């Protein structure tokens, strides 16, 4: 479960493309942010690359990438490369067989395209060719069995495409102003490319032809997508990072506090179905330089969007998967105390808001890349101190979930017990 959006430059206030995504996964699945450097491969020694389930031929050179990913998956839910290419992946539920033998999964396609291409059109073409050659299949669930097909939002600094799939079939739509995707097919007959077996027939409404109506209904994805599209439409021509943050932090107005909400873009687990937003990011792309805001932690409504820029320096938590996992676990410990009602939520959010505003303004006013790097390093360090401030009084205090319904409390007690056991391994 996820939500992804893009806004082309002419629809934003600053004339820069904005790309953003929430990654909704199992609440106990570590979401890591990791940079992998550009690499030249000796194909005589390593002719193949091992993906999550299968191996495919390696290429001579792979781009430097930043991946936002489940820690056990080779690929990524979302990410970007040094050329400004950004890609986000969504689970979609179709009437084509989903539990195929392990092969290529959507998250692997995201990483392969980021590593091997430099612009949105090239990425789109590669992803279609990968789908045609390897198909798609494999369990993508962390602590459950979860099979699905995939849709993608693919953007560079000036263009964006939507790629939706159903088994071997696909269709493509070019974005002309703004667009949001969720856990549902969205392309009707207004596609610019479609699988050749379908284009021979009368105009195909891809959504109507392939949607699994039952799974899609219970995913509440059309409501989430509508919320994102309506907010973008209302602000078209004046869309900012803050507008997009509002979407990523958005809750269904019918959602009670301390309750699960599969119908919210900022998804909260705790019910019979649905996942949890385990990480989020926003990219602001332009030829003058790309800038990002990343949570590297769950629940955007509680997390801080921290500035990020690709340069010589990195926040320590983004240097490798081990560091990323440790940062996510530390953040998650506080998130669980906030959900349980044991942490000072009001005080934390006040401090979070002040810190976020301070570093967004400092990032925007920095005069060059070196200054932006310094702001980034300081912002991530200060957020670490904020975690310490609110975790300190709760050191060695057992979790005690007392908010919400009995089922909700029991859900979080069970999940948190499993999280602490996993973290201690």
Bridge partners (DSSP) listed for residue 35: 66
* Marked catalytic residue, from 2, 184, 266, 318: 2
- pLDDT value of residue 100: 83
Q: Average of pLDDT values for 30-36? A: 98
Tally the residues of the chain. Answer: 425
Interatomic CA distance for residues 299 and 248, integer angstroms: 9
Could you tell me if 258 and 268 are in contact, meaning their C-beta atoms sit under 8 angstroms apart? no
DSSP code for 318: G
Interatomic CA distance for residues 372 and 57, integer angstroms: 38
347 part of a folded domain: no
Q: At residue 425, does pLDDT exceed 70?
A: no
pLDDT confidence bin for 141, thresholds 50/70/90: very high
- pLDDT value of residue 201: 66
pLDDT confidence bin for 12, thresholds 50/70/90: very high
Kind plus residue range of the DSSP H or E element containing 108: helix 106-116
* Beta strand pairing call for 78-81 and 86-92: antiparallel
| Residue 273, domain CATH | 3.60.60.10
81 part of a folded domain: yes
Let me know if 365 is exposed, middle or buried by CB neighbors in 10 A (0-12, 13-18, 19+): exposed
6 part of a folded domain: yes
Could you tell me if 328 and 383 are in contact, meaning their C-beta atoms sit under 8 angstroms apart? no
Q: Give me the percent of the chain exceeding a pLDDT of 90.
A: 93
Bin 138: left if φ > 0, else alpha if -120 < ψ < 50, else beta. Answer: left
314 part of a folded domain: yes
Helix axis angle, 369-391 relative to 321-340, nearest 10°? Answer: 50
Could you tell me if 403 and 409 are in contact, meaning their C-beta atoms sit under 8 angstroms apart? yes
Q: What is the number of structural domains in the chain? A: 1
Residue burial 291-323, b: 16+ Cβ < 10 Å; e: rest:
bbbbbbbbbbbbbbbbbbbbeeebbebbeebeb
- pLDDT value of residue 414: 96
Interatomic CA distance for residues 247 and 379, integer angstroms: 23
267 part of a folded domain: yes
Q: Average of pLDDT values for 60-84? A: 98
70 part of a folded domain: yes
DSSP code for 203: P
Interatomic CA distance for residues 2 and 23, integer angstroms: 5
414 part of a folded domain: no
Q: At residue 302, does pLDDT exceed 70?
A: yes
Interatomic CA distance for residues 51 and 190, integer angstroms: 33
- pLDDT value of residue 271: 86
- pLDDT value of residue 272: 84
Q: At residue 202, does pLDDT exceed 80?
A: no
Average pLDDT over the chain reads: 96
Could you tell me if 331 and 298 are in contact, meaning their C-beta atoms sit under 8 angstroms apart? yes
Q: Average of pLDDT values for 220-229? A: 97
What is the per-residue DSSP string for 219-276? Answer: HTHHHHHHHHHHHHHHTTTSB-HHHHHHHHT---TTPPTTS-BTTSSS-B--SSS--E
User: What is the domain range of residue 14?
Assistant: 2-319
Q: Average of pLDDT values for 301-320? A: 96
pLDDT (tens digit per residue) in 393-418: 999 999 999 999 999 999 999 999 99
pTM summary value: 0.97
pLDDT confidence bin for 364, thresholds 50/70/90: very high
327 part of a folded domain: no
Q: At residue 421, does pLDDT exceed 80?
A: yes
Bridge partners (DSSP) listed for residue 194: 171
Our answer to whether residue 301 is catalytic in this structure is: no
Q: Average of pLDDT values for 111-134? A: 99
DSSP code for 301: T
Residues in CB range of 423: below 8 A, 6 or more apart: 329
Nearest partner of 95 among 193, 218, 217, 214, judged by Cα = 214
- pLDDT value of residue 273: 79
Could you tell me if 309 and 292 are in contact, meaning their C-beta atoms sit under 8 angstroms apart? yes
Tokens of 394: 């709760």
Q: Give me the percent of the chain exceeding a pLDDT of 70.
A: 99
Q: At residue 219, does pLDDT exceed 70?
A: yes
Lowest mean per-residue pLDDT among 243-257, 290-304, 340-354: 243-257
């Amino acid at each position: 479960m996820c939500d992804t959006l893009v806004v082309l430059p002419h629809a934003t206030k600053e004339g820069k493309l904005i790309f953003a995504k929430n990654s909704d996964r199992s609440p106990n699945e570590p979401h890591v942010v990791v940079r992998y450097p550009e690499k030249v491969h000796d194909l005589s020694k390593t002719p193949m690359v091992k993906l999550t389930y299968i191996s495919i031929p390696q290429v001579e050179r792979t781009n430097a990438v930043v991946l936002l990913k489940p820690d056990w998956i080779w690929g990524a839910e979302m990410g970007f490369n040094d050329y400004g290419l950004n890609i986000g992946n969504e689970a979609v539920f179709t009437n084509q067989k989903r539990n195929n033998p392990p092969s290529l999964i959507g998250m692997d396609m995201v990483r392969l395209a980021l590593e091997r291409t430099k612009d949105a059109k090239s990425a789109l073409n590669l992803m279609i060719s990968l789908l045609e050659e390897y198909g798609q299949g494999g369990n993508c669930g962390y602590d459950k069995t979860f099979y699905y097909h995939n849709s993608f939002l693919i953007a560079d600094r000036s263009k964006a495409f939507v790629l939706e799939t159903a088994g071997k079939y696909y269709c493509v739509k070019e974005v002309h102003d703004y667009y949001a995707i969720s856990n549902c097919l969205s392309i009707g007959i207004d596609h610019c490319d479609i699988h050749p077996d379908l284009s021979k027939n009368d105009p195909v409404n891809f959504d109507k032809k392939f949607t699994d109506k039952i799974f899609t209904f219970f995913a509440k994805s059309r409501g989430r997508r509508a919320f994102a599209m309506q907010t973008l439409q209302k602000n078209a021509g004046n869309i900012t990072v803050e507008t997009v943050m509002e979407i990523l932090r958005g809750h269904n107005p019918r959602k009670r506090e301390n309750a699960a909400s599969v119908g919210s873009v900022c998804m909260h687990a705790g019910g019979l179905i649905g996942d949890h937003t385990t990480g989020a990011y926003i990219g602001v792309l332009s030829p003058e330089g790309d800038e990002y805001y990343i949570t590297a932690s769950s629940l955007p409504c509680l997390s801080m969007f921290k500035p990020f820029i690709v340069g010589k320096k990195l926040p320590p938590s983004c240097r490798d998967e081990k560091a990323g996992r440790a940062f996510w676990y530390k953040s998650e410990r506080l998130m669980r105390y906030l959900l349980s009602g044991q942490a000072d939520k009001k005080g934390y959010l006040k401090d979070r808001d002040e810190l976020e505003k301070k570093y967004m303004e400092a990032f925007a006013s920095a005069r060059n890349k070196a200054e932006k790097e310094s702001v980034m390093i300081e912002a991530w360090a200060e957020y670490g101190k904020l975690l310490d401030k609110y975790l300190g009084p709760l050191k060695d205090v057992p979790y005690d979930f007392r908010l919400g319904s009995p089922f909700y409390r029991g859900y979080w007690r069970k999940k948190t017990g499993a999280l602490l056991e996993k973290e201690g391994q």
